[in-house]
Structure formats: C-alpha cells, structure tokens
Amino acid sequence: MKETAANSSGYLQLIRGNRAFRHLWAGQVISLTGDWFNLIASAALIAALTQSGTAIGGLFVVRMVAPFIVSPIAGVVADRYNRRAIVISTDVLRCFVVLAFVLVREPQHVWLIYVLTAVQSASQGFYFPAWNAILPDITERHELGIANAISSATWSVMLSFGAALGGLVAGVVGVYPAFVIDAITFLLSAIILLRMPYQSKLKRDIDQSVMAGLRQYIDGLAYLRRHIDTFSIAIQKAILGFFIIGFFQVAQVTIAEQHFPIGEGGSITMGLIYVMAGIGSGLSPILGRNWARDRDRRLRLMIALGYVAAAVGFLICSSLLSLPVVLFGALLRGVGGGLIWVLGTQLLLQIVPNEVRGRVFSTEFALYTLCAAVSSGATGRLIDTSLGVGGVLLLGSCILVLPTALWLLWIFYGRRDLVAAGAA
C-alpha cells in the first residue's frame, strides 16, 4: 500500500513540478482524443461505403505503410533539429489534413480517404520519434520511468475516452463531426506545445547536406547492428504489429460492423471495443512497472506475459459468443499490447544514448508500421475467405506461441550487449 501511494505521489509530483513535461503531456491528452475520433470515423465510413474486409484492411495498410516510408528521413530530422518544432509542425499539418475527410460522401470518393490517411500517417512518422526522443530531454533520469508510464497510460486512457466518445458521436450524429473535432484538437495541441519550455540538447551539425543525413541514418542502423540486444528490444513493436495489432484492428471493425452492429457502421460497438482495449493497455503497464521497478530482467519478463495475455484475448474473441465476451477478449488483448509497447519503450529509453535516440525510435516505429501493414492487408483478405473473422482470430492465437517462445529464449539465453548491460 505504501509503495502504491509513493508511486502515485511521484506521478503527481512530476506533473506539478516539471512544467515542460506538463505542457507536453497536456498536448498529448488533447491530440489523442481527436486521434481516436478520426480512426473510428474513417473505419466506420469505409465499412459503410464498401462492406469489404479488404477495403478496411487497406485503410490500416495505408496508416502503417506511410510512416514506414518516411522513417529514414524522420529519424535523421529528430536527431538534427528542434524536436518541439517538429511535433508542433506535424500537429498543424494534421489539422488541415483531417478537415478534408468531410469531402468523402460517396463510394467513388473512398480513394480520397486513403490519400488523406497516407498524408496524416506520414506526418505521424515524424511526430512519434521526435515526441519519444523529447522525454529524456525534459526529465531527470529518476523521472524517466514515471514520465514514460504517465504518457503511456494517457495514450490508453484517451484511447478509451476518445474511442467511446468518437464511437458515440459517429453513431448518433454521423462520422463527419468527428473529423472536425479531430482537426480542432490538433490545433489546440500545437498551441499548448508552443508554450512548452524546451532547450534542444542536440549538437548542431555543420554539414546539413542530404548525404550527411543519409550517413546519419546509416550510422543509426549500424548502431542497432552493433548492439544486438538493443535491436531485440526495438523489434518487439514490429512483432506486436504483425502478430497482434495488425490482426485485431481489422478484425474488430468486421466484428463491429457485421456481428454486433450498434450505431452507423457499427461505430458504437467499435468504440466499446477500443474502450476495453484502452483500459487493458492503460492499467497493465502501470501494474507491470510497479512490479518490475524498471529492472531490466523483470521488464523483459512482463513483455513475455504480454504475449500470453494477447493470445488468450484472441482465443476468447474468436468464439464470437456475445458482445460482452468479445469485449473481455479485447480487454486482455489490450493488456498484452500495453505491456509489450510500454515496457519495451522503457527499456529503450534507459539504454539508448541521446545522439541516436531519434533514429532508433524511428527505425523501431518503421518496423512496427511495416509489419502491422502487412498483417492488416493479409487479415483483410483472410476475413473475406471461408475462415471468417472468428477463424482468423483463432489462427492468430495459435501463432502467438512462436514470438512468446523466442522472446523467452532470448531472456534466459541471449547475451546482453555492453550498452544495455552497463545502463541496466
């Protein structure tokens, strides 16, 4: 009980005492609320206009491929230029892009959703590496774990709140108001971040040429090649994207639209599924970190537990017995995804030096988006076959045995590289 109270005090103390983190966190809260509005609205709109699992899968493929394409540039940009300016610029760009979603009114306009989603997601490819790389810049080392836990829990809480609210708005008054709200939130986030005190700690390179940027990116890849243990951590999000998120994000749209539809295009049902996933992914990293205490081996074991939780969640959802059963399975899927994503990020924040942090995070995000895109496209096609959504989820549950076993083998028999061992 005393440990829990102390942890809660540490979270509140960081928010109250660190002005830079408070502004960064507030911008995240507002921006993420609109993000989930946009995702549910666009998925529901495509489902209603096309009635196709392949078309839904295509939406998620575009969402994932666009950040992958820009990742080589994004990583170098995050390690070269003011990171606060990068996240503000991407917020402003996304404000105008999401407003254009209201132009999609007929089935023949669906292509515009893909184009706009590509631009929006490409800007996120710049946003997330820069945002992640800012955290160690504005916190002390003893605050880093708390800051990461707060930001990750916020992502999950806003997933629950934003998805529920977005599903309700889309289901009651239609999908188009959700796009307008999303645009407003990006603008508000940019205004808040403008007031964030921030001094870049990056050394200004004299050579700003394209070739120098390419060398920087290659150096970042070489860093991961030299530090295999760090790479094994960075690749966990790619595995998460391929085996868990790519599978489920397409399947849940089909479940909502075809099996338990509530609201326009099943948007309210979709919102409820996201709510449960958000609750799971919000609570699990906090509880997991409280047990792990930022210790290297314990953090790794909690990631393995995440794979097991996701597999059980898939198995439960595959039964399609009722909406409450599916929601419970989504909760467990969220628990698994939260443990893998958040605690993997925590390990990287503890061991990766500032000079390559942006490139490591952009590479990690690129691998994640590529794998999730491939998985989303394949899942959409599989759902349209005789397997159906239940068979696809059952298949996903069985396949998760492989990454779980490989990660456990690395935990117990893999050799830690020098940077990771020293930092831990």
**Predicted confidence band at 421 (pLDDT cuts at 50, 70, 90)?**
very low
Question: In the predicted model, what is the mean pLDDT of residues 91-97?
Answer: 90
Highest CATH level, class, for 14-194+223-423: mainly alpha
Q: Between residues 282 and 235, which one has the greater pLDDT? A: 235
The pLDDT assigned to 265 comes to: 65
The pLDDT assigned to 5 comes to: 44
Range of lowest pLDDT (258-267, 297-306, 392-401)? 258-267
- 348-371 burial, b at 16+ Cβ within 10 Å, e below that, comes to bbbbbeeebbbbbbbbbbbbbbbb
Using the predicted structure, report yes or no on whether residue 423 has a pLDDT greater than 50. no
Q: Which two tokens stand for residue 272?
A: 């409820």
The domain spans of the chain are 14-194+223-423
The pLDDT assigned to 352 comes to: 80
Using the predicted structure, report yes or no on whether residue 209 has a pLDDT greater than 70. no
Q: What are the Cα distances from residue 276, in Å, to 36, 42, 196, 279, 333?
A: 14, 20, 32, 5, 9
Q: Which two tokens stand for residue 64?
A: 């994932």
Question: Around 54, how many Cα atoms within 13 Å sit in the side-chain half-sphere?
Answer: 3
pLDDT tens across 43-68, in order?
A: 778 877 887 767 777 787 787 788 87
Question: In the predicted model, what is the mean pLDDT of residues 248-261?
Answer: 81
Q: Which two tokens stand for residue 100?
A: 């254009």
> What single-letter DSSP state applies at residue 243?
I
**Which residue from 106, 102, 114, 103 is spatially nearest to 50, judged by alpha carbons?**
106
The pLDDT assigned to 203 comes to: 61
d(CA 91, CA 94): 5
In DSSP notation, 121-146 reads: HHHHHHHHHHHHHHHHHHS-HHHHHH
Range of lowest pLDDT (47-61, 181-195, 243-257, 380-394)? 47-61
Percent of the chain topping pLDDT 90: 10
CB atoms within 10 A of CB 237: 25
Contact 358, 133 (CB under 8 A): yes
Question: In the predicted model, what is the mean pLDDT of residues 303-321?
Answer: 91
Percent of the chain topping pLDDT 70: 88
Question: In the predicted model, what is the mean pLDDT of residues 91-109?
Answer: 87
**Predicted confidence band at 294 (pLDDT cuts at 50, 70, 90)?**
confident
pLDDT tens across 394-419, in order?
A: 888 898 999 999 999 988 887 775 54
Q: Which two tokens stand for residue 285?
A: 């990293």
Q: Which two tokens stand for residue 208?
A: 């700003």
d(CA 335, CA 305): 9
> What single-letter DSSP state applies at residue 416?
P
The pLDDT assigned to 25 comes to: 87
Q: Between residues 162 and 190, which one has the greater pLDDT? A: 190
Using the predicted structure, report yes or no on whether residue 341 has a pLDDT greater than 60. yes
> E strand or H helix at 104, and its extent?
none
Using the predicted structure, report yes or no on whether residue 236 has a pLDDT greater than 70. yes
Using the predicted structure, report yes or no on whether residue 222 has a pLDDT greater than 70. yes
**Which residue from 39, 33, 21 is spatially nearest to 185, judged by alpha carbons?**
33
**Predicted confidence band at 270 (pLDDT cuts at 50, 70, 90)?**
confident
Contact 331, 276 (CB under 8 A): yes
Question: In the predicted model, what is the mean pLDDT of residues 133-154?
Answer: 78
The pLDDT assigned to 384 comes to: 76
> E strand or H helix at 204, and its extent?
none
**Predicted confidence band at 105 (pLDDT cuts at 50, 70, 90)?**
confident
Q: How many helices (H) and strands (E) does the chain have?
A: 18, 0
Torsion sign over Cα 116, 154, 132, 421: negative
Using the predicted structure, report yes or no on whether residue 176 has a pLDDT greater than 80. yes
